[in-house]
Amino acid sequence: MKFYDRTAQLHALETIDRQTGESGKMTVITGRRRVGKTMLALKFSENKRRLYFFVSKKDERLLCDEFLKMIRDHFKTPVIGEIKTFSQIFELTLQLAAEEKLLLIIDEFQEFYNVNPAVYSEIQHLWDRHKHNAKLHLVLIGSVYSLMVKIFENAKEPLFGRADRFLHVKPFRPDIIKDILLDYDAFNLNNFFVHYLVTGGIPRYIEILSDNRKFRENDVFDFVLQKDSPFLNEGKNLLIEEFGNKHGTYFSILELIASGKTDRSTIESILEKNIGGHLDRLESIYDVVAKIKPFDAKPSGRVQKYLIKDNFLNFWFRFIHKYKPAVEMENFDYIMAIVQRDFSAYSGRFLEKLFHELIAETREYNRIGTYWEKGHQNEIDLVAVNDLKKKMLLAEIKVNPRKISIAALKGKARKLTSRYQNFDITYKGLSVNHIAQYLD
């Protein structure tokens, strides 16, 4: 699959790269696995003098042997003495960058915790000492969110405050998913929606499906839910390293959220344990869930629910992890029957999420959210407000457009709209066939 989008990130990288003619600059690129961080860095580094180091879980000496070979392949400068530590490798690159402009990319930077945690202090010491004389653009890429936050945002860590720029790479926007499907001559609204729902715009997942020419709903599900599918263990592979030996409780919580148990009290009643700390860590440390409050709710309000931010992880916990015994028995027909039974109700949540994203992209509103009252009464799928122009949009979003009732929507909105009497209020019904008008 060709390289798509990332225009803003490439511009940011080029801007800071131009500044390295005067002194060293450090850029940190984060984002979940498979989101395209490495592809972004490699695209940016085309036609530049660069070194690319991948930090795998090896002995430090073996890594240094690999990195030294790359240096010798790219530079004619003789290396004197034996290189045993990464600090020696890093000092060597700083010396090279004192003579000419150099881009150094270090991928999976958080893995030094497994190789030698002292590396971070050594990098900080060398960087502080040499960066003003080195024309080095140091690009550090990391996938384990909690560790990257710890490395660069914890005031007690040696590299705190050293980064000149942070880039958080996000999944593709809906319009980019559309562009990809158009390039494969596979775009229609149903294909687009199932790709959004399952992949969430993660480039690697879209690439796998596209390479295998899986675009239609049934073809996508058949491919994802089959023996040896690359998707079957993906949720576990993404999160085990984040959660460590306490992953069991976290997985149970995420399975319940994916199954529609979105409030803390319900989850605690099922698991029969206090999970307040787990939810806080899932939100603030691991960046896996988001805490959602009703539109216009006070920050101190206790009415709230939790949602998994990542579309694929939602799907994985709802239909793969939840039915792990069937997966292990390779009874994928059973799981497909569950998907077909529950798909309409399940997909409705993601149609709502999609319209939230699409309407946010219009830049017509400064606040967008969902509204409900205590006890999940009078739920409104989408509320968007432009406080400057005093206009409000209220929308009922359904997979089946026949279930939309504007009269019912107006009834549910009475309490909310009473606070916006001077606003121009628009009521809409939105379904899959309305997606196109927001994608153009």
Tokens standing for residue 280? 């806080």
**pLDDT given at position 157:** 93
DSSP state of 305: E
**pLDDT given at position 80:** 65
Going from the N-terminus, what domains does the chain have, and what CATH number goes with each?
7-168 (3.40.50.300), 174-224 (no CATH), 234-330 (1.10.10), 359-439 (3.40.1350)
Beta strands in 376-432 (DSSP E): 377-386, 391-397, 424-430
Distances in whole angstroms, Cα of residue 279 to Cα of each of 76, 257, 309, 350, 431: 53, 11, 13, 21, 32
Q: How far is C-alpha 51 from the geometric centre of its chain's CA atoms? A: 26
**pLDDT given at position 241:** 84
Per run of 10 residues, the mean pLDDT along the chain (length 440 residues) is 94 95 93 95 95 95 93 80 90 93 96 94 96 96 90 93 94 96 97 97 97 96 96 93 87 96 95 94 93 90 92 97 96 96 93 97 96 90 98 96 96 95 96 91
393: which strand partners?
Answer: 384, 426
Q: What is the pLDDT of residues 237-259, one digit of tens each?
A: 999 888 888 889 999 999 999 99
Whether the Cβ atoms of residue 78 and residue 67 lie closer than 8 Å to each other:
no
Q: Which residues lie below 8 Å from residue 37, measured CB to CB, with a gap of 6+? A: 29, 30, 31, 107, 141, 143, 169
> What mean pLDDT is reported for the chain?
94
**pLDDT given at position 242:** 87
| Direct distance between the N- and C-terminal alpha carbons of the chain, in angstroms, rounded to an integer | 23
User: What does pTM read for this prediction?
Assistant: 0.92
Q: How far apart are CA 314 and CA 259, in angstroms?
A: 9
Q: How far apart are CA 215 and CA 195, in angstroms?
A: 7
**pLDDT given at position 364:** 96
